Amino acid sequence: MKDYDVDALREQYPILSRKVNGRPLVYLDNAATSQTPRVVVDAVEDGYYDRRANVHRGVHTLSQEATAAMEATRRRIKDFINADSTDEIIFTRGTTEAINLVASSYGQLLSEGDEVILTVMEHHSNIVPWQLLQRRSGIVIKVVPIHADGTLDMDAFRNLFTDRTRLVSVCHVSNVLGTINPIADIIAYAHSKGAVVCIDGAQASPHVHIDVKETGADFYAFSSHKMYGPTGIGVLYGRSELLQAMPPYQGGGEMIGHVSFKGTTWADLPYKFEAGTPDFIGAAAFRTAIDYIDSIGMDAIAAHEHELLEHATDAMLGIPGLRIYGTAPDKSAVISFLIGDAHHYDTGVLLDQLGIAVRTGHHCAQPLMEFFGIEGTVRASFALYNTHAEVDAFVAALRRVAAMLA
């Protein structure tokens, strides 16, 4: 594993040297969206300036180049997550749309009384699509609780299974707690009970290795914009055998074999699930973001972020009244916290005055907030370009804010 030079790498991100409220920006809202390096913005620009043409249908050169660029990303993603085939890689708008695709389409193969297991730490994106399915089909949703440190209660998980359990949908990494869930164990157990598993990988893909073959994931969803790529593009991986059996999600151009008012046939995978003109420029540039991550190395990124996590955690625990939510031993670089009785919003506003960008609120995880009996938290989340000095600036600002709000 090679170390990397964070200061040199930050020059790729003009936004990181801007000021906010007269202070140097310290961007710690990476779990909501990451920043984009020049190489990726350049790839988007190239797409617009050089080969903008609609994909798939064209005989002309530009269309072929645009198609080739998008399909190159599909191959890149296949390798990035170790899938078997590009048939299994479906472009979506992001994680949310990917999970909606599974709930809407695979959901049609479920019947009233079939059970879907979620966990209390899920993002609303991995709750509401299943509730919509519940209204349509009468499925039953069961919820795995967590321990106080933010790890899943695996005994409770195993006890939720019945002969009606058909699907488990769980995040790989929690966007609030940072908990890295033991997805290989979860998948192995679910498979032993005949259930398929959908993984919400939105918080995992920028920080940990994904291997759909090794873990056995049936579905795996993630978003480009959290991994230094363009916004508006994401991926659903699905095991081809499952995707074959599933009905289309949306109808329109690109997804058909032949259309007739007597009856329409579907395109082959993966196009069956890609109705309409995709974000082909974003999709093409997403490859550059994945190449960028690989050029630094996921292990090096994880090690750097882990160092920031430990440094920040140690320093924050020295602030009187500060409580951290999510202290799992296996944790990615996300810190949710509250200080004394201070409202999360006030803490966030005051930090912003000092140039520090954090997120406040329920983080699209209201059931998790309910579990802790709180309305929201302040969340600092780190990326490959954050520095030790930024952690120090953040903690110093937090001390000032804590004193102001005490």
The reply to whether 336 sits near ligand PLP by the rule CB under 6 A is no
Provide the 3-class DSSP secondary structure of residue 294. helix
The only residue of 29, 71, 88, 200 in contact with ligand PLP, by rule CB under 6 A: 200
The only residue of 30, 67, 86, 96 in contact with ligand PLP, by rule CB under 6 A: 96
The reply to whether 379 sits near ligand PLP by the rule CB under 6 A is no
In the 8-state DSSP scheme, what is residue 363? T
Assess contact for 235 and 221: CB atoms under 8 A: yes
The only residue of 223, 336, 377, 386 in contact with ligand PLP, by rule CB under 6 A: 223
The only residue of 94, 238, 270, 282 in contact with ligand PLP, by rule CB under 6 A: 94
The only residue of 67, 100, 119, 125 in contact with ligand PLP, by rule CB under 6 A: 125
Assess contact for 221 and 99: CB atoms under 8 A: yes
Active site residues: 364
For residue 292, give both structure tokens: 């960028």
Q: Is 364 left (phi over 0), alpha (psi -120 to 50) or beta?
A: left
For residue 287, give both structure tokens: 């490859």
The reply to whether 279 sits near ligand PLP by the rule CB under 6 A is no
The reply to whether 283 sits near ligand PLP by the rule CB under 6 A is no
* C-beta of 76 vs 123, nearer to ligand PLP: 123
x/- track of binding to ligand PLP for residues 162-181 (CB under 6 A): ---------x---x------
DSSP calls for 296-335: H-HHHHHHHHHHHHHHHHHHHTTSTTEEEE---SSB-SEE
* C-beta of 47 vs 230, nearer to ligand PLP: 230
* C-beta of 119 vs 175, nearer to ligand PLP: 175
Contacts of 11 (CB under 8 A, 6+ apart): none
Minimum separation from the CB atom of position 338 to ligand PLP (A): 20
The Cβ-side half-sphere exposure at 69, using a 13 Å CA radius, reads 27
- Which residues in this chain contact ligand PLP in the complex, by CB under 6 A? 31, 94-96, 123, 125-126, 171, 175, 200, 202-203, 223, 225, 234
